[in-house]
Amino acid sequence: MNPVIELLNSHRSIRKFTEQKIPRELFREIIRAGQSAATSSHVQAYSVIHVVNPENRKKIAELAGGQNYIAECSDFLVFCADMKRPTEAAQRAGAEVVHGMTEQLVIASVDTALMAQNVAIAAESEGLGLCYIGGIRNNPAEISEILRLPEHVYPVFGMCLGYPDQDPEVKPRLPPEAILKEDYYQDEQDEAQVAGFDETMKKYYLERTGGNKDTNWSEQLKPLFTSKLRPHMKDFLEEKGFKMR
Ligand SMILES: Cc1cc2nc3c(=O)[nH]c(=O)nc-3n(C[C@H](O)[C@H](O)[C@H](O)COP(=O)(O)O)c2cc1C
């Protein structure tokens, strides 16, 4: 297998880091590699806040649901979808900008995620570990205040970066056959594929926990879909100027 694919297939989230700091030159290189991701119409609709202030890192760790690795990792980043910079640039160039289209929310969120995933891969290629932090959307308004995010900028997720102090197993994924569909959407095999994957995950959890965690993929999904997930997000996004229209 080629080394890039091997690297991609060896990804696992890291939630425990050594005290070793990432050299600044390497840190900058990783961010630059992130920027090389494809970007919709070259709009580069993202900003990354590197949270250096230790007090703010502690506050964010709490606001994200008590995820202490946010305060403990070498570097903590908040990836923000940013429609402010590109719309202001167009405005200065003479455009009468239309704000708040749903498509702008999609473009900025996708751009941000692609950039972040490039950062993740660049980091892993240098032996670093990372964990995405969607938990920052538990309290996006408070976090936006700490980071002084203006209108047309919203925090999509965070990322902890550092040198791994744990070596977790790679988490299985659905087989490619389950997600790759030829010519059109076919779901005849879905139930069987999911049942097979539930078995895979059940084994994974049992082995990883010495028999203590007896669950599977479908069971793990239940709480995600039986509660209203972060219901504050609609109003929060609208307040930030990302509307649904
Ligand atoms: C956008 C996003 C947000 C995430 N948020 C969190 C988080 O807040 N806390 C956490 O511990 N893991 C978080 N994760 C990590 C996922 O739980 C993890 O990627 C998933 O379980 C698959 O495991 P793996 O990354 O080890 O393969 C997040 C992942 C993504 C992509």
For residues 92 and 107, what is the distance between their CA atoms, to the nearest angstrom? 21
Range 185-211 average pLDDT = 97
- Kindly indicate the confidence band of residue 151, based on its pLDDT and cuts at 50, 70 and 90: very high
- Kindly indicate the confidence band of residue 1, based on its pLDDT and cuts at 50, 70 and 90: confident
Whether 190 shows a pLDDT value over 90: the answer reads: yes
For residues 75 and 30, what is the distance between their CA atoms, to the nearest angstrom? 12
For residues 185 and 23, what is the distance between their CA atoms, to the nearest angstrom? 47
Which residues have a Cβ under 8 Å from the Cβ of 135 and sit 6 or more positions away? Answer: 64, 65, 67, 158
Q: What distance in angstroms lies between residue 65's CA and the mean position of ligand 1's atoms?
A: 14
Which of 169, 162, 189 shows the shortest CA–CA distance to 177? 189
For ligand 1, which residues put their CB under 6 angstroms from it? Answer: 11-13, 15, 67, 131-135, 157, 171
- Kindly indicate the confidence band of residue 14, based on its pLDDT and cuts at 50, 70 and 90: very high
Mutate to test the pocket of ligand 1, among 13, 128, 213 (most ligand atoms within 8 A of CB): 13
Q: What distance in angstroms lies between residue 133's CA and the mean position of ligand 1's atoms?
A: 7
What is the distance of C-alpha 206 from the center of its chain? 27
Q: What distance in angstroms lies between residue 226's CA and the mean position of ligand 1's atoms?
A: 19
Mutate to test the pocket of ligand 1, among 8, 115, 131 (most ligand atoms within 8 A of CB): 131
Whether 230 shows a pLDDT value over 90: the answer reads: yes
Which of 211, 209, 229 shows the shortest CA–CA distance to 221? 229
Q: What distance in angstroms lies between residue 96's CA and the mean position of ligand 1's atoms?
A: 39
Whether 204 shows a pLDDT value over 90: the answer reads: yes
Range 142-161 average pLDDT = 98
For residues 114 and 170, what is the distance between their CA atoms, to the nearest angstrom? 21
Q: What distance in angstroms lies between residue 68's CA and the mean position of ligand 1's atoms?
A: 15
Which of 33, 73, 31 shows the shortest CA–CA distance to 160? 73
| Residue 159 confidence (pLDDT) | 99
Which of 230, 81, 61 shows the shortest CA–CA distance to 146? 61
Whether 244 shows a pLDDT value over 90: the answer reads: no
| Amino acid at the residue 23 | P
CB 33 within 8 A of CB 4: no
Range 214-239 average pLDDT = 96
Mutate to test the pocket of ligand 1, among 132, 159, 197 (most ligand atoms within 8 A of CB): 132
Q: What distance in angstroms lies between residue 214's CA and the mean position of ligand 1's atoms?
A: 20
Q: Which long-range contacts (CB under 8 A, 24 or more apart) does 131-135 make?
A: 131/13, 131/14, 131/15, 131/69, 131/73, 131/159, 131/160, 132/13, 132/157, 132/158, 132/159, 133/64, 133/67, 133/70, 133/157, 133/158, 133/159, 133/160, 135/64, 135/65, 135/67
Atom in ligand 1 nearest the alpha carbon of residue 65: 8
Whether 97 shows a pLDDT value over 90: the answer reads: yes
Torsion angle of the four alpha carbons 132, 137, 140, 143, in this order, in degrees rounded to the nearest 10 = -30
| Residue 195 confidence (pLDDT) | 98
CB 17 within 8 A of CB 69: yes
145 token code pair:
């205040």
133 bridge partner residues? 158
- Kindly indicate the confidence band of residue 41, based on its pLDDT and cuts at 50, 70 and 90: very high
Lowest mean pLDDT, pick from 74-78, 118-122, 188-192, 241-245: 241-245
Classify strands 129-133 and 46-51 as parallel, antiparallel or unpaired: unpaired
- Mean pLDDT rounded to a whole number for the chain: 97
Q: What distance in angstroms lies between residue 88's CA and the mean position of ligand 1's atoms?
A: 33
